[in-house]
Structure 1
Amino acid sequence: MIWPLWLLVLVAGVAGAAAGSRAAVAHAIGLAERFGVSAGLVGITIVAIGTDLPEIANSISASATGHGDVVVGDTTGSALAQITLVLAILILANPAGFAGELDDDGVVRFGGGIAAVAVLLTMLLIIDGELGRLDGLLLVAVWVASMIGLARSRRPRRLLRKPPAREGPGSPVRLLGWLAVVGGSSVALVQAFVQLADTIGVPELIASTMVLALGTSLPEFVVDWTALRRGAATLALGDLFGSSLVDATLSIGIGPVIRPIDVSNSAIASVAIVAAGIAVTT
C-alpha cells in the first residue's frame, strides 16, 4: 500500500477513534444514570472490558501459537502503562478534571486493590515457569468473582421507574459496539503510523516501540480523555483501573485456558514490577 493510502488510513483511524470515544462515553454516562450507579462502576466493568479487547485477543492468539512471554508481557505491560503513563498524561493535561472527590463509592480503590492482588497471584502461579489451564481458570474466576462482588456491594442509588431502553444513550450493547469501533480504529491508526514512519525512514526499533506503547493503551487513552472532557473523571479512573484488573485476570488467564504456556524468568520479574506499580498508584 502506497503512502497516500496509509495517510488516509491514519486520518480514518483518528476520526473513528474520536467519534467512537464520544459515543462510548455518552452511552457509559447514560448507562450509569439509567441504573442509578456511579460512572466509576460502569467504567470498571463494561468500559474496561471493551477497551481491553485487544489484550484479550492477543492473549488467545499468543497462547495458541506457544508464545508464553508475549501473553505475560503484553497483558502486564498494558496494565502498567495504563496506571502510570496514561494516568500521568491525563492528569498533566487536565489537572482540573481530577480535582475533588472522584471515587464516590470506592470502586476504583476496589478495582486497583484486586488488580494488585491478582498480579501477585499471577507471579506465584508462573514461578514454576508455566501457566496451565487450572492456573488460567483461577485467574478468570478471580475476575468473575470481583465483578459479582462489585455488583452486589454497589447497589443502585435509586430505583428505576421503568426498565432502561435498549436504544439511545445508556444502551450496553451500543456501548460495547462503540468501544469496538475505538479499538479497531486504534489498531488502524497505529499500523498506519508505523507504515508512514517506515516510509520517511524512522528506525524500525523506534517504530516498533511506538506500536507497543500506543497499541496496548490507545483505546483507554482515547476513551478516558473524552470522559475527562465531559467531566466524568470517575469514569476515566474506573476504566484505567478496571482495564488493569482485566489485564491481570481475564486477559492473562484466558489464553492458557485454551493452551498452557511456558514463561521465562524475565516475565516473572516484569509481573513483580507491575504489581508494585498498581499497588503504589492505588
Structure 2
Amino acid sequence: MLILMSILGGFIILTLGAESMVRGACAIALRLGIAPLVIGLTIVAFGTSAPELAVSIKSALAGNSGIALGNVVGSNIVNIGLILAITALIKPIKVQSQMVRRDIPFMVAVSALLLFTVMDGEVDVIDGLVFLALLAAYLVYSYRSGDADDSDADIEEVEKGPKNPLLAVVMIAVGIGMLVGGGILFVNGAVELARHFGVSEVVIGLTIVAIGTSMPELVTSVVAAIKGESDIAIGNVVGSNIFNILAILGITSLLHPISSAGFSNVDFAVMLGFAVILLPLAWTGLRIGRREGALLLVANLVYMGYLVQNATAA
C-alpha cells in the first residue's frame, strides 16, 4: 500500500510541478523576449531532467551503475518513443525549422558519441569533462541564436501567467522542486515494486526508472502542447535528451565512473535509432502528427517487449 501511495503521490506532485513550471517559463519568454524554443531547450529541459540527475548520482555513488546508465539510455528512448508520441497523439506538434537544422542533429550527434564512449566499458572522468564542455558550448550557442520573433504565433494565446518576471522565476523554481521531489517519490515506489518481483538492475534502469524519471517530461510536454506551446513541448524532449547525456552522465561520471557492464549494444543502438528517426519525422511538414506519434509509440512498445522477454528468459 505504501509503495502504491508513493507512486500515486509522486504523479500528483509531478503534475502540479509541470503546470507551475510551464506557466513560469511561458511568462519569462513573453516578458524578457526570450524565444520559447530556447526556454524549452534549456530551463524546462534541465528542470524536467533533474529527477534523472538525482537518481543517477544516487545510484552511481551506491555502486548501482546499471540503474545510473540505464536511467539515461532508457529515458532518452522513452522521451521520444513515449513522451513525444503521446503528446503528438493528443495534439500534433509544430516544429520550427531551427529544430531540424540544429537541435535534433545535435541530439543525434551526442547519442552517437555516447555509443562510442561506452565501447571501452565505462564513462570515466575524461568522458565527463568532454560531455560538460559540449553542453556549455551548446547552451551558449542556443542562447545567442535564440530569437523571440521565431517563436510560435500561439504564444500570444497561452495563458499570460504572472506579469512580474521575479514571480515567474519563483514559479519555475517551485515547479522544478516539485518535479524533482515527485519524480524521486515515483521512482522509489516503482523500483521497490520491481525489486519485489526480482527484476534486474539493468532492466529496472531501462524501463521503470527511465519511465518514472521521464514523467516530468511527459506531464510538461502534454501540458505545454495543450496550452498551444509547441516550442516548449518538443524543446523539452530534445533538450532533455541532450541534458541527460551531457549533463547527467557528465556530472555523475566526475563523481564515480559509470560501468556499461550488463548492457547490450542493442540498448544504445535503439537510443540512437530513435534520435535518428525523429529527424525525418520532424522534417516532413515541420510537424509531428498523430500518425508519427503512433509509429513512435509502437516502436517503443516493441523495444519494451524485447526487454521484458529477455528479462523473463534470463
- TM-score, with length taken from structure 2: 0.73
Q: Which moved more, 1:84-93 or 1:107-116?
A: 107-116
CA separation of 1:108/1:184 partners in 2, compared to 1, >3 Å: closer, same or farther? farther
Distance 2:216 2:233 in 1: 12
Distance 1:70 1:19 in 2: 27
Distance 1:139 1:203 in 2: 36
CA separation of 1:166/1:88 partners in 2, compared to 1, >3 Å: closer, same or farther? closer
* 1:71 corresponds to: 68
Q: Is the 8 A contact 2:18 2:220 kept in 1?
A: yes
Q: Which amino acid aligns with 2:19?
A: R
Q: CA RMSD in A?
A: 3.0
Q: Where do 1:177-196 residues align within 5 Å?
A: 177-189=174-186, 191=188
Q: Extract unaligned runs of 5+ from structure 2.
A: 151-162, 280-314
Do structure 1's residue 254 and structure 2's residue 246 form an aligned pair?
no
Distance 2:123 2:210 in 1: 25
Q: Which moved more, 1:67-76 or 1:8-17?
A: 8-17
Do structure 1's residue 150 and structure 2's residue 142 form an aligned pair?
yes
Q: Is the 8 A contact 1:69 1:263 kept in 2?
A: yes
Aligned pair partner of 1:34 in 31, 35, 41: 31
Q: Where do 1:109-258 residues align within 5 Å?
A: 110-157=102-149, 165-169=164-168, 171=169, 173-189=170-186, 191=188, 211-212=208-209, 214-258=211-255
Distance 1:176 1:103 in 2: 27
Q: Which amino acid aligns with 1:111?
A: D
Q: Which amino acid aligns with 1:229?
A: I
Aligned pair partner of 1:272 in 266, 269, 292: 269
Distance 1:27 1:108 in 2: 26
How many Å apart are 1:236 and its aligned residue? 0.7
Q: Which amino acid aligns with 2:114?
A: T
- Where 1:264 maps in the other structure, the secondary structure is coil
Q: Over residues 223-277 of structure 1, what are the superposed CA-to-partner deviations in whole Å (9 max), with x where a residue is unaligned?
A: 1111122111221100011101111211122111122233227354422321121
The structure carrying a bigger helix percent of its residues is: 2
How many Å apart are 1:52 and its aligned residue? 0.4
- Where 2:228 maps in the other structure, the secondary structure is coil
CA separation of 1:231/1:139 partners in 2, compared to 1, >3 Å: closer, same or farther? same
Q: Is the 8 A contact 1:40 1:103 kept in 2?
A: no
CA separation of 1:63/1:237 partners in 2, compared to 1, >3 Å: closer, same or farther? same
- The count of residues paired between Structure 1 and Structure 2 equals 263
How many Å apart are 1:65 and its aligned residue? 3.1
Q: Over residues 64-95 of structure 1, what are the superposed CA-to-partner deviations in whole Å (9 max), with x where a residue is unaligned?
A: 23333333211011011101111111112234
Q: Which amino acid aligns with 2:16?
A: A
Distance 2:223 2:32 in 1: 22
Q: Is the 8 A contact 1:119 1:248 kept in 2?
A: yes
Aligned sequence identity (%)? 26
How many Å apart are 1:9 and its aligned residue? 5.2
Q: Is the 8 A contact 2:128 2:254 kept in 1?
A: yes
- TM-score, with length taken from structure 1: 0.80
Do structure 1's residue 103 and structure 2's residue 95 form an aligned pair?
yes
Q: Is the 8 A contact 2:184 2:213 kept in 1?
A: no
CA separation of 1:194/1:269 partners in 2, compared to 1, >3 Å: closer, same or farther? closer
* 1:47 corresponds to: 44
Distance 1:46 1:116 in 2: 21
Q: Extract unaligned runs of 5+ from structure 1.
A: 159-163
Q: Which moved more, 1:5-14 or 1:30-39?
A: 5-14
